[in-house]
Amino acid sequence: MEQKDVVDLLNAIKNIDISVWIGGGWGISALVGFQSRPHNDIDVYIEKKNAIKFIEMLILKGYSETKTDFTNEVHTVWQDSEKRTVDLHLFEFGEPGTIYYDGEPYPSNVLDGAGAIGGHDVLCFTAEAQLLFHQGYEHSEKDIHDVMLLCKTFGFDIPAEYK
């Protein structure tokens, strides 16, 4: 997705008045303040209670759900005719200090990140959470780029699996 497409989506989200958090590559670009590489999609995290409102907005914008091997009840993929792709992730707030994603608890402070995309302030995962979520699986070139950028920008040690 190009930055202009993300800005267009952010404006549509603003019009439906729900909070979103940006993860993945665009989340890292938001944290560092610039688009550091091309992005195929945007990872959007919303509260499960807002799913219908968000999906209705996507449909009005010409998106339809695309089935993949990794989609489930909390992660769906939406694409429009131009192949712009939104990875939609649903979570729920639990007891104070906790969110639940796909039945797993996470500390809610993973959502305390803030950044900007195309001059629009966005909520996103923290840099620490992004680094953590990029570990424990086989890495692509994009993952390596993102982790190195996070480490350089925020002064983190490079995780052993990336050395």
- Span 129-151, pLDDT tens digits: 999 999 999 999 999 999 999 99
User: Which DSSP state fits 1?
Assistant: -
Domains of the chain in sequence order: 3-154 (3.30.460.40)
Helix (H, G, I), strand (E, B) or coil at 44: strand
What is the average pLDDT across 17-25? 96
Report the pLDDT value the prediction gives residue 89, as an integer from 0 to 100.
97
Percent of all residues in the chain with a pLDDT value above 70, rounded to a whole number: 100
**CA nearest to 43, candidates 12, 74, 81, 64:** 74
* pLDDT tens digit sequence for 73-97: 899 999 999 999 999 999 999 999 9
Distance CA 151, CA 24 (A): 15
Distances (CA, A) of 105 to 24, 46, 96: 19, 15, 12
